[in-house]
Chain A
Amino acid sequence: MSPVLEVHDLHKAFGGIKAVNGVSFSVKEGEILGIIGPNGCGKSTLFNCILGQLEPTRGAVKLDGRDVTNMRPSALNRLGVSRTFQLLQVFPELSVRENLILAGQEHQGSMLGRLFGARDAGLSEKAEQMIGFFKLGHLADAKAGGLSYGQQKLLDAAMAFMAGPRLVLLDEPAGGVNLTMLGDLKERLRAINAEQGATFVVIEHNMDFVMSLCTRVIVLAEGKVLAEGTPAEVRANPAVIEAYLGH
């Protein structure tokens, strides 16, 4: 079976600074891949290049064997690739429910159908499910801008899953989330992975979170892949210890 996501020799330079310097990896269906590395090692730039938010200097990104390098983010999303953001990215003026419906609406019907056809067909139910699943029930009609940081983080994740994506790229999902919610989040992610067979790529600083969630881990340093393996292997790798202690 061909991998869901293939990243081939990706480069990204900003002026003279090589933020991503020849990264290659692939992700199999149903896998939870963690990407870790010290600050400034190019993780977020890597994500942005994969997702068409930045134009890579060189290299290719393939989805199910199909070249999607430089595809526009919205088009890529409609192919079933979604993401969460490191910094909060919800729509503060819309309610939690509307945020979720919005996250799903572009995945069905046509542009004109959305305007003249049955309004939000099936999306309300799906949003309700997501609200229940991420335990946001009491907040469904509240404006997203008024939620606590952790709740917005959950909503952000829920939005990424609203359209039933095949591949989800999570950018520091655990950042700033308190311990109880962290457990919740991990449990939700595992459940979605198991039930829907969704594939995850997770960037994270929280080692415990990554090591307990991911099946495989890639370590980036200075824009390159430093090590790769199961959480246990990576933890034992002297080069990784060196990279982390060295910084």
Chain B
Amino acid sequence: MAEFIAYLIAGIATGAIYALAAIGFTLVWQTSQTINFAQGEFVMLPAVLILLAVKLLGLPLWAGGLLGIAVFLLIFGAGFKLVVVDPMIKHGVLPLAIATMALSIVMKEGAKDGFSAEAQSFPSLVPTDMINLLGVSISLQHLAIIVVAFAAIGLLQWFVGGTRLGRQMQATAQNPTVARILGIPVERMVLLTFLLNAALAVVASLLISPIYLAKFSNGETIGLFAFIAAIVGGFNQVRGALVGGLLIGVADSLAAAYVSSQYRLAVPLVLLVAIILIKPEGLMGRKEERRV
């Protein structure tokens, strides 16, 4: 039982990270019809940039961290929208999706060539000790991840629901045409979601890299699980992405422990197929209008 709870907590911790990535993914999907296939690489890169800043410029960790994050937000928040999404969205959803695939390759191979083909350790912000809680040994890191990720999601929820700016963003996501009529600066709101997405990716990156190390190929699994989380949760909602992320994280963790470590990846995939077959609109999703 103690073992089970430990795996459960580990699963919730990684699940919270998938949720961060999945929320960013649904945000940009909602506001700008962008299916970002580079989402996993978005989570991989900030840690790599930070280590790069430390290594190349000889900066202390905090300064390298700030610089790396700033560069990332600039290029993959604002730059991504202005350079990739804006010129391409007029061609339709599909070319844009493919463009993000190309971007994911550039990011991944770029990190491999420009940084390192090997996994590099990334400093943890909290002690890596284990604590014993009622007979269950729990990693402090996992607890910290859960706290930080939930705080970030809580903050986002408050921003979206509780502030004027957030509500404007929400309105833009739901119906850009109406939002424009209401005088909401739609373009700026879309840009805001891209920045938010990049910021969420930064948080996820800082949380996951101390555990999984900073490596160019990290984005593959994270991206895949983020997509699955978004679909399982219902593609269109922050809450759905959260539920989906946690579910995937826990399923993955338990599968690794009790099913087969070789096929742990397969369990979330099976979950995806099951959801598509049984409840295609996702656990928390609403049925969409049929068009075709």
Contacts and interface: CB of A to CB of B under 8 A. Distances in A.
B291 interface: yes
B79 to A, nearest CB: 34
A54 B292 contact: no
Nearest to B287: A55
Contacts of B292: 53, 73
A73 B292 CA distance: 7
Interface string B235-261: 000000000000000000000000000
A73 B289 CA distance: 14
Chain A interface SS verdict (over half): loop
Interface of A: 53-55, 73
Contacts of B164: none
Q: How large is the interface on B (under 10, 10 to 19, 20 to 34, 35 or more residues)?
A: under 10
Contacts of B91: none
In this complex, the member of B289, B290, B291, B292 whose beta carbon has the largest number of chain A beta carbons within 10 angstroms is B290
A49 to B, nearest CB: 11
B177 to A, nearest CB: 13
Contacts of B291: 53
Contacts of A55: 289-290
A53 B290 CA distance: 7
A133 to B, nearest CB: 30
A53 B289 CA distance: 9
Contacts of B289: 54-55
Nearest to A53: B291
Contacts of A54: 289-290
8 residue pairs, one from A and one from B, having the closest CB atoms: A55-B290, A54-B289, A53-B291, A54-B290, A55-B289, A73-B292, A53-B290, A53-B292
A55 B288 CA distance: 10
A89 to B, nearest CB: 13
Interface in B84-137: none
Nearest to A70: B290
Contacts of A73: 292
Contacts of B290: 53-55
Contacts of A53: 290-292
B252 to A, nearest CB: 36
